[in-house]
Amino acid sequence: MQKVVKKDFKSFQGEIIIPADKSMSHRAIIFSSLAKGKSVIKNFSDGQDPNSTLRIFQNLGVNIEQTGNTIIINSNGGLEQYKFPLDCGNSGTTMRLVSGVLAGQSFKSKLIGDESLSKRPMKRIIEPLTMMGANITSNDNKAPIEIYPTELHAIDYISKIASAQVKSCILLAGLRVKDGITSVSEPFISRNHTEILLKHMGADISVEGTKVSIKKSELRPINIEIFGDISSAAYFMATALIIPNSQITLKNIGLNPTRTGIIEIIKKMGADIQILDERNVCGELVGDIKVSYSELTGCEISGEIIPRLIDEIPIIAVLATQAQGQTIIKNAQELRNKESDRIKAIVSELQKTGADIEETADGMIINGKTTLKGGCEVETYNDHRLAMSLYIAGLICKNEITVNGFEWANISFPTFEKLINELKA
Ligand code: S3P
């Protein structure tokens, strides 16, 4: 779908509720399916990715009912074989976390994904699961993945990358290991929703620095209302920051420090941002964010903060075009393994709009402030974060732009454009 984006507003004003967090929606479905009893999940994401996870657990025999955004799960704590391939769609989180769940089962499963997911690296989970004793075949360490029944044993795994998907996969496999402690360490801390929610549901899990350890545990069902996704909120923060006279309030946002790298960076760039009404939901920090147009300056983004803002880098690149001076993003080579090669993709498409941006091996360098001239077509590379970031870039282009493949935004944020339009003043 082609989407024409143009400057048909003066500024952005008002208050919106940001839709449910994608990472939490996946985890709520997976963990509730493994917990014996009735779980209630309110404000479940309407993105396509969490719905891929939901359908998979229905296929695995779990009783899951959906009324609007409320999900009721009645589980006996066990899963049943599904004779057909389990379709993870575009979702890396689904494929990697579900592999951890299926590795220790007494039945065979096959996981498949769409074209983009089928190109993404799965060695990062196949390797540790195999060390645990899993019997897995794949297409040269990519999907489709076939998982055969075996019994797993505990390992102490040191991951070379900071990845919540890898960490969660190993912890979910470790949850089923009869004896011993399964541990996973990572170079920097990645998002820790798995640790927090599993603990909340009664798992025997402990954290020491960047090492997480788990023992076989029975999970208790949950009653949870999922908070708003900071990765979705990021597009709106950026809009308010770069469009003169804007001021918006984003309600009910997850503020877990393993996700708030974006807030730390925009503060460093000079953003006028306030966090209001902080509260706690199932062990997670939640609050509202008020953000206003600001004169930004460039900065360096590298090291431990990268996993805490990994999904926000495409929109940070857009922001940086409007910041005075140079923004250097380093140590972000993991971006090349996302739904698209996000370094190559955002650099090439922002260049078309007139941005001064260049690719480096592990990131990018942006010089600002630049007036984006637009008047071009940009590509989304089947990637939701590209679709939304380029749409926001379109709002500040002098001439309208056409975003090809804008429908990919539905992967995480089907109401994105509707909410943008509600804030136009
Ligand atoms: C996610 C972890 C991150 C992130 C992805 C969601 C999760 O991936 O990019 O959008 O929910 O665990 P990695 O673990 O591969 O860094």
* Percent of the chain residues topping a pLDDT of 90: 99
Site to probe by mutation for ligand 1, drawn from 88, 191, 386 as the one with most ligand atoms within 8 Å of Cβ, is 191
Mean pLDDT, the chain, as a whole number? Answer: 98
CA of 163 to the centre of ligand 1 (A): 6
| Best CA proximity match to 185, nearest among 171, 201, 203, 199 | 171
Ligand 1 atom closest to residue 166's alpha carbon, by position in its atom list: 14
The mean pLDDT value for 149-154 works out to 97
Taken in order of first residue, the domains within the chain and their CATH numbers are: 2-20+227-423 (3.65.10.10), 22-215 (3.65.10.10)
Q: Mean pLDDT over residues 287-299, rounded?
A: 98
Q: Encoding tokens for residue 67?
A: 């009324």
Cα of 84 from ligand 1 centre, angstroms: 26
Q: Whose Cα sits closest to atom 13 in ligand 1?
A: 163
Q: Residue 282 pLDDT > 90, yes or no? A: no
pLDDT (mean) for 284-300 = 98
pLDDT tens, position by position, 50-78: 999 999 999 999 999 999 999 999 999 99
Cα separation, 138 vs 293, in Å, equals: 49
Alpha carbons 423 and 407: distance in angstroms, whole number: 21
Distance CA 114, CA 112 (A): 7
Given strand 377-379, what is the order of strands in its sheet?
Answer: 2-5, 401-404, 377-379
pLDDT for 186 equals 98
Query: pLDDT > 70: what percent of the chain?
Result: 100
| Contact between residue 154 and residue 132 where contact means Cβ atoms under 8 Å apart | yes
Residue 399 has a CB neighbour count (10 Å cut-off) of 14
Query: Which pLDDT score is estimated for 327?
Result: 98
| Cα distance between residue 98 and residue 111, in whole Å | 9
Q: Please, how many CA atoms are within 13 Å of residue 425, restricted to the half-sphere of its CB? A: 14
Instruction: Tell me: pLDDT of 44 over 90.
Output: yes
Q: Which atom of ligand 1 is nearest to the CA of 338?
A: 9
- Given the CA of residue 307, which atom of ligand 1 is nearest to it? 16
CB-CB neighbours of 76 under 10 Å: 11
Read off the pLDDT band of 196 (50, 70, 90). Answer: very high
Which of the following is catalytic: 229, 288, 311, 383?
311
Is-catalytic flag, 311? Answer: yes
Q: What is the pLDDT of residue 216?
A: 97
The residue whose CA is least distant from atom 10 of ligand 1 is: 311
Report helix, strand or coil for 406: helix
Q: Is residue 262 scored above 90 in pLDDT?
A: yes
Beta carbons of 253 and 287 less than 8 angstroms apart:
yes
What's this model's pTM, rounded to 2 decimal places?
Answer: 0.97
Q: Which residues line ligand 1 (CB under 6 A)?
A: 23, 26, 93, 163-165, 168, 190-191, 310-311, 334
For the chain, the first-to-last Cα distance in angstroms comes to 26
Question: C-alpha distances in angstroms, 98 versus 34, 52, 165, 184, 360?
Answer: 11, 11, 10, 17, 33
Give 384-414 pLDDT, tens digit per residue.
999 999 999 999 999 999 999 999 999 999 9
Handedness of CA 229, 234, 237, 243 (dihedral sign): negative
Round to whole Å and give the CA distance between 225 and 28: 10
What span, in angstroms and rounded, lies between the C-alpha atoms of 389 and 380? Answer: 9
Residue listed under structure tokens 């025999």:
61
pLDDT per residue as tens digits for the range 73-129: 999 999 999 999 999 999 999 999 999 999 989 999 999 999 999 999 999 999 999
Q: What is the pLDDT of residues 216-258, one digit of tens each?
A: 999 999 999 999 999 999 999 999 999 999 999 999 999 999 9
